[in-house]
Amino acid sequence: MQHTVVALALVIFFFFPQLAYADLTGQVINITDGDNLVVVIDKQWVRVRLAGIDAPEKNQPFGTDSKQSLSDLCFWEQVTVASKGKDQYGRMLAKVRCRDVDAGEEQLRRGMAWVYNRYAKDPSLNPLQEEAKVAKRGLWVDPHARPPWKWREMWD
């Protein structure tokens, strides 16, 4: 019986990983940039990367604006964090809700981030980016805006 329960738990974890992560709540204590924040969850500092988006780097045009946008939305707020796993830097990849608004989606709506198509698994993100682009919101006022993954290539 015990082996059956363990086997079932492993099957759920490997084939349905979204079920292995329950929504968490915490308080945002730091905004690192437009797609990274630090949340205190159960008295632990957790570095969180917003899933599905990539915001301008700090030294990139709109980097400061993007960070401020996320700060205006989430800093010092109680948030809900839906973990999607970890990235290669050990940060939790997550959907984060601040003031009942999905922070990643809002960054896209405001024109403060790109959909990170290489990793994004949510097809509903692309229309949000397109809407901001058409309206020339945020970084989309620049017709030559360069996504962060291309910007980083310049510095590698």
Query: Is 143 inside a domain boundary?
Result: yes
Query: Is 39 inside a domain boundary?
Result: yes
Mean pLDDT of 25-39: 98
The pLDDT of residue 13: 46
Considering the candidates 47, 57, 131, 137, report the single residue annotated as catalytic.
Answer: 57
Considering the candidates 49, 97, 109, 110, report the single residue annotated as catalytic.
Answer: 49
Query: Is 69 inside a domain boundary?
Result: yes
> Is pLDDT above 90 for 155?
no
Query: Is 83 inside a domain boundary?
Result: yes
Query: Is 48 inside a domain boundary?
Result: yes
> Is pLDDT above 60 for 137?
yes
Considering the candidates 47, 77, 91, 106, report the single residue annotated as catalytic.
Answer: 91
Query: Is 145 inside a domain boundary?
Result: yes
Helix (H) or strand (E) holding 25: strand 24-33
Query: Is 4 inside a domain boundary?
Result: no
Mean pLDDT of 116-144: 95
Query: Is 16 inside a domain boundary?
Result: no
Helix/strand/coil percentages in the chain, nearest 5: 40, 30, 35
pTM, two decimal places: 0.86
Is 91 one of the annotated active-site residues of the chain?
yes
> Is pLDDT above 70 for 6?
no
Range of the domain at 132: 21-155
The pLDDT of residue 5: 42
User: What is the tally of structural domains in the chain?
Assistant: 1
Contact of 132 with 142, CB cutoff 8 Å = no
Domain with residue 114: its CATH number is: 2.40.50.90
The pLDDT of residue 96: 98
Mean pLDDT of 114-130: 94
Is 110 one of the annotated active-site residues of the chain?
no
